[in-house]
Amino acid sequence: MGDLHVICHEIPKLELHAHLNGSLTETCLKKLKCLDSSIKGYQRMTEVLNKSQRSLSECFEVFKIAHNATNNVEAVFAATQSVISDFHMDHVVYLELRTTPRAGQDMSKEDYIAAVVTAILANPLEIIVKLILSIDRRNSIEQSLDSLNVILKMKLKYPDVIVGIDFSGNPAEGEFNEDLFKKAREGGLKTSIHCGEIRNDEEIEKILKFGPDRLGHATFLHPEYEGNPNNWKLYLEKKIPVECCLTSNVICGTTKSYPEHHIREWIRNSLPHCICTDDKGVFGTSLTKEYTLVAEHHGLKPKDLWQTTCNSVDYIFASDDIKTRLKVKLMNWYNKHERQLCRF
C-alpha cells in the first residue's frame, strides 16, 4: 500500500473533473475572510461526512458552505489559487477546473468568472489550467440561457482559458436541454455533461444522442448497473470518454463499494475513461488516492495507471500543441521511472 501510494503520487496526472467549490480544503476555508460563520458551517459539514454513507441530496447541501465562503471576488480568486496549488502538490500537470458562474456580494456572474480566470492566469506553478463553466440544472430555461450568454461573452474575452461547458447540479432536479448545448458548441465550447448519476433512461438517451465530448460519472449506464441496454448499445457506438469519480460515487451512495464501481466495465472493455476526484475537499480525497483505489480494487498496476493518464491526454479540452507537450512530459517521466514501475 505504501509503495503503491508513493508511485501513484509520483505519476504526472491529469484532472478533468474537479469542481472549484467542492475542492476547497479546511485550510483554504480558514484562510478566507468571511470565516466566523463559514468555519461553524464547515464543522457541521464534517459531521455530515463522518457518517458511514450519505445520500446524494446531503452531499449537494454541503456545497452551500463553500458558496458562502466564496461570495466575493477576493475570496473566489484566493480559493482558485489554493485549489490549483493543491492539485500541483499532488503532481497534477494538467487541470480542467469547473465552476458555476454566480452573483454574490458586489459580484456579478462576469466578475465571478473573471476572478477565476485571473487566478488561473496568475498561476506561477508548473501546471496547465483550463476552465469549464457550468449550467446549473435546477435553473429555468430562461436562467440557463442567461448564464450561457454570459459564458459565451466571457469565452470571447478569455478564449485560451475558458474551454468548455458543463451541465451539473442535483440530478434529481431539472432536465437536459439539447438546444442550449448546441448553442454552446456553436460558440466554440467543448461539452462535458453530467450523465446518469441517477437512473434516468430518457435523459441518458438524450445526452448520448447529443454526443458530448465527455460524460461525467455515467453511473447508471451499463446494464449491470441498472442501465438501459439500448442506451448501452448507443454508448458503444459513440464511445464517449467517461470521467470516473470513485470516492464521490461511493460516499454519495450511488455506487455500493469501490470494487463494485462501474469503472470496472470501462477497464474490462478498454473503453475511454479518465480517473477524477469530482470534489476532493468535500469527499476528503486526492487524485493520488483515486489512482491508488483503482489499482487496489480493479487490478491495475502503476504502468496501467500511467497508460490511463496518457490516454486521457486525448480527451482534454486543449490544443494539439498542449496535448503534444503533455505526451512528451509523460513519456520522459516513464523513461526515467520504467524500472520502478516494473517492480509492481
Name the residue among 144, 188, 134, 187 with its Cα closest to residue 165.
Answer: 134
The pLDDT score that the predictor gives to residue 188 is 98
Q: Which of 15, 96, 197, 290 is the catalytic position?
A: 197
The pLDDT score that the predictor gives to residue 320 is 98
pTM: 0.94
The pLDDT score that the predictor gives to residue 27 is 82
Query: Which residue positions in the chain have pLDDT lower than 50?
Result: 1, 34, 42-46, 48-49, 52-53
d(CA 165, CA 193): 8
The helix (run of H) or strand (run of E) holding residue 89 is helix 73-89
The pLDDT score that the predictor gives to residue 49 is 46
The pLDDT score that the predictor gives to residue 40 is 53
The pLDDT score that the predictor gives to residue 1 is 45
Q: CA dist 120 to 2, 115, 156, 287, 333, Å?
A: 33, 9, 16, 20, 25
Q: What domains are defined for the chain?
A: 2-342 (3.20.20.140)
Active site residue 26: no
d(CA 274, CA 241): 7
